Structure formats: C-alpha cells, structure tokens
Amino acid sequence: MDITILVAKILGIYLVVSGLFLIIKGKTIPHLLQDFFDHPAIVYLTGVILLFLSSIYLLQYNVWDGTWRTLVTVFVWMVLAKGLAYIFMPEILNQNFVKKFRTAFGVYGFVAIVIGIYLFFL
C-alpha cells in the first residue's frame, strides 16, 4: 500500500471521529482544552510528536501535483503548523481557540466528517 493512501485513510478516520465528537460532545471541548493547556509538559510533548510525525511524512512525500495527494500534503502541513504552535505559542492557542470557534463546533464537525469520508474512501 502506498504510504500516501495509508496516511489518507488514517487522516480520514481521525477526521470522522473528531467530527462526530465535535457534533455530539462539542460542549465538553472547552473543558478538555482547559485541562490540556493546564499541563505545559503535555502540550509541549504533543507538539513534538506532531512535529516529528509530520516531518517524517513531508520529507518523503511532499506532493503538490494537484491530485488528492495534494490534499493529504496540505493536511500534513497543517499538522506541522499545529505542532509548532503547541511548542512556541500555546498561550495564544489557549486564549483564542475556544473563544473564536465555540459557536461553530458543529459546522467544523460536519466539514471534518465529509473530508474524512472522502479521504478514507479514496
């Protein structure tokens, strides 16, 4: 199996589960994020893990050919950016994320499910 297909399926499953969680349990997100950001070591380690995993993929398969592989590459770049944000600016994420996106969790959940299903069934 091509590594890009494997990553697409993993991202698809992750997005579907995350989307369902946002729709069903969206009201618990602020509490989860508060607990998460109250532990700086966990935030840092999460950033390091995201940075490590995304770098492995991008060093081998940074594809910009206009196909579905480009969508996978965009998501992996977003994971890399999220990892860097967790490492270098967790306070900004903590302060701004919940306030700005609280009302749109259901919409983000639906979009995540649609994209996840598309990636999974490639």
Per DSSP, 79 falls in state H
For residue 42, what pLDDT is reported? 96
Q: Which two tokens stand for residue 84?
A: 């860097």
Report which residue type is found at 5.
I
pLDDT tens digits, one per residue of 21-41: 999 988 888 888 889 999 999
Per DSSP, 121 falls in state T
For residue 48, what pLDDT is reported? 97
Select from 4, 2, 1 the least CA-distant residue to 67. Answer: 4
For residue 94, what pLDDT is reported? 82
For residue 28, what pLDDT is reported? 86
DSSP assignments along 2-50, one per residue: -HHHHHHHHHHHHHHHHHHHHHHHGGGHHHHHHHHHT-HHHHHHHHHHH
For residue 32, what pLDDT is reported? 87
The pTM of this model reads 0.80
Range(s) of the domain holding residue 17: 3-120
Q: Which residues of the chain have pLDDT under 50?
A: none
Instruction: List Cβ neighbours of 49 (8 Å cut-off, separation of 6 or more).
Output: 83
For residue 98, what pLDDT is reported? 66
Number of domains in the chain: 1
CA 12 to chain centre: 11
For residue 18, what pLDDT is reported? 93
